């Protein structure tokens, strides 16, 4: 084929009898694409300063909410940020980033990310799906090939941070990423304070160790719900919380009071972190605004940049940055 980047035939061989067969040609092109991808993956190690994987043992604990929140919080600090959403079964990052219904933009064989809120670059498996309602059943090799392509063939440009959101549990996806992407700083494990989620997050910690990716720490999501109310100044109010617990608060001089209710349990994330000797990165409040934001495409951090949730995210980001500073990016190397 004229202009083919790979040729086994050189002029000194004399004329090729028949040229490569179509099958050989395809194999050569595949090998060339694979080589280019591997080189691109290696250069990503340098062009993307920090790479953070976000995992959870269990679905529905808010992993995508946390991934997008971390990305947006980092972008608020003025960093160049990207999100890679690898969850094929429930890729809802585009929705949370206001990019629902987008398609991938491919130019000269390179995939260009979409730009969501605060300029965050987004690549998602959702961009490959025809509609949201069709369940995706991808065979393992196709899925893993797509992930490698999403790492090697995406034109991220220079980024300070890449946040990678995964499907829940100990699937093949994190392994593929850990083997393909050099210098991963580490993984953040998201849990809720319930026993079932905590149990699963313990599995994730063991899994992280088997991937040889450092664990940056545990984030407890849906940690407590803060009620705000008003009563005459100085009044003591009593609120019946979940689990039969009574909470009391006193209205301040302006007549405002607030009470934080633990909807599940208290302090499970911190206890799990302590049990495994890994850092506790902080707690994020239960905030119905996250659900609305997930549905209408405006993340809480964008709609309320000064609010309690944004402040909590900024604290978690600071804890992660402190860990990255300490661990110094001891990820896997491509060999
Ligand atoms: N801190 C929170 N407060 C309230 N709702 C939340 C919070 N975090 C996540 N959610 C909601 O929980 C649901 C699951 O969150 P999601 O991020 O999709 O979880 P996962 O990616 O772990 O499956 C979503 O409807 C989301 O809006
Ligand atoms: Mg998710």
Structure letter (DSSP) for residue 265: -
Q: Are residues 185 and 71 in the same domain?
A: yes
Question: Can you give the pLDDT at residue 8?
Answer: 47
Residue with CA at minimum distance from ligand 1 atom 11:
291
* Contact by Cβ (8 Å): 56, 188: no
Question: Can you give the pLDDT at residue 314?
Answer: 96
d(CA 330, CA 335): 15
Residue with CA at minimum distance from ligand 1 atom 9:
62
Question: Can you give the pLDDT at residue 150?
Answer: 83
Q: Are residues 131 and 251 in the same domain?
A: no
Residue 275 alpha carbon to ligand 2 centre in Å:
26
**Domain range for residue 78?**
45-224+262-327
Residue 88 alpha carbon to ligand 2 centre in Å:
9
**Ligand 1 near 201 CB (within 6 A):** no
Ligand 1 pocket mutation pick from 58, 64, 65, 284 by most atoms within 8 angstroms of CB: 65
pLDDT means per 10 residues, the chain with 335 residues, are 44 60 88 80 85 90 94 96 86 86 82 93 83 63 80 90 89 86 91 75 80 91 88 90 84 90 76 87 90 80 90 96 69 39
Residue 62 alpha carbon to ligand 1 centre in Å:
4
Position in ligand 1 atom list of the atom nearest CA 221: 1
Question: Can you give the pLDDT at residue 169?
Answer: 78
38 belongs to a structural domain? no
**Ligand 1 near 310 CB (within 6 A):** no
**Ligand 1 near 291 CB (within 6 A):** yes
Position in ligand 1 atom list of the atom nearest CA 90: 23
16 belongs to a structural domain? no
* Contact by Cβ (8 Å): 45, 182: yes
Question: Can you give the pLDDT at residue 135?
Answer: 57
Q: Are residues 106 and 244 in the same domain?
A: no
308 belongs to a structural domain? yes
Residue 289 alpha carbon to ligand 1 centre in Å:
10
* DSSP codes, 24-42: HHHHHHHHHHHHHHHHHHH
6 belongs to a structural domain? no
Nearest ligand for residue 285 CA: 1
**Ligand 1 near 69 CB (within 6 A):** no
* Contact by Cβ (8 Å): 299, 72: yes
* Contact by Cβ (8 Å): 263, 226: no
Which residues have a Cβ under 8 Å from the Cβ of 208 and sit 6 or more positions away? 55, 187, 189, 214, 215
Structure letter (DSSP) for residue 281: E
40 belongs to a structural domain? no
Q: Which run of H or of E encompasses 311? A: helix 308-327
Question: Can you give the pLDDT at residue 197?
Answer: 66
CATH number for the domain including 215?
3.40.50.300
**Ligand 1 near 286 CB (within 6 A):** yes
109 belongs to a structural domain? yes
Nearest ligand for residue 223 CA: 1
Question: Can you give the pLDDT at residue 227?
Answer: 87
Q: Are residues 231 and 100 in the same domain?
A: no
Q: Are residues 84 and 220 in the same domain?
A: yes
Residue 256 alpha carbon to ligand 2 centre in Å:
36
d(CA 70, CA 52): 10
Question: Can you give the pLDDT at residue 133?
Answer: 62
Q: Are residues 166 and 103 in the same domain?
A: yes
Residue 64 alpha carbon to ligand 2 centre in Å:
4
**Ligand 1 near 255 CB (within 6 A):** no
d(CA 312, CA 270): 15
Q: How far apart are the two ends of the chain, measured CA to CA in Å? A: 32
How many independent structural domains does the chain possess? 2
Q: Are residues 233 and 116 in the same domain?
A: no
Q: Are residues 256 and 273 in the same domain?
A: no
Question: Can you give the pLDDT at residue 131?
Answer: 64
Q: Domain boundary at 261, 286, 315, which? A: 261
Q: Are residues 182 and 302 in the same domain?
A: yes
Q: Are residues 81 and 149 in the same domain?
A: yes
18 belongs to a structural domain? no
Q: Are residues 159 and 304 in the same domain?
A: yes
26 belongs to a structural domain? no
**Ligand 1 near 56 CB (within 6 A):** yes
Question: Can you give the pLDDT at residue 4?
Answer: 44
Q: Are residues 185 and 244 in the same domain?
A: no
């Amino acid at each position: 084929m004229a202009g083919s980047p790979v040729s086994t035939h050189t002029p000194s061989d004399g004329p090729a009898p028949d040229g490569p067969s179509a099958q050989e040609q395809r194999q050569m092109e595949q090998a060339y694409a694979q080589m280019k991808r591997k080189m691109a993956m290696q250069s990503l190690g340098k062009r993307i300063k920090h790479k953070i994987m976000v995992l959870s043992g269990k679905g529905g604990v808010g992993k995508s909410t946390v991934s997008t929140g971390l990305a947006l919080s980092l972008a608020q600090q003025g960093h160049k940020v990207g999100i890679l959403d690898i969850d094929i079964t429930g890729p809802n990052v585009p929705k949370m980033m206001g990019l629902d219904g987008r398609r991938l933009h491919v130019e000269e064989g390179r995939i260009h990310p979409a730009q969501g809120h605060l300029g965050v670059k987004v690549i998602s498996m959702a961009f490959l799906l025809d509609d949201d309602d069709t369940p995706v059943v991808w065979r393992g090799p196709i899925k893993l090939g797509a992930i490698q392509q999403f790492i090697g063939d995406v034109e991220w440009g220079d980024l300070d941070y890449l946040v990678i959101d995964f499907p829940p549990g100990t699937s093949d996806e994190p392994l593929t990423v850990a083997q393909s992407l050099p210098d991963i700083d580490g993984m953040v494990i998201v849990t809720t304070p319930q026993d079932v989620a905590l149990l699963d997050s313990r599995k994730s910690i063991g899994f992280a160790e088997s991937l040889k990716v450092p664990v940056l720490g545990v984030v407890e999501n849906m940690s407590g719900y803060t009620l705000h109310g008003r009563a005459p100044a100085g009044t003591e109010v009593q609120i019946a919380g979940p689990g039969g617990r009574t909470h009391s608060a006193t209205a301040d001089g302006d007549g405002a009071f607030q009470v934080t209710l633990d909807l599940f349990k208290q302090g499970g994330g911190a206890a799990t972190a302590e049990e495994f000797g890994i850092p506790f990165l902080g707690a994020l409040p239960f905030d119905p605004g996250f659900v609305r934001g997930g549905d209408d495409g405006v993340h809480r951090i964008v709609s309320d940049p000064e609010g309690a949730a944004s402040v909590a995210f900024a604290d978690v980001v600071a804890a992660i940055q402190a860990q990255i500073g300490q661990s110094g990016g001891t990820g896997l190397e491509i060999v």
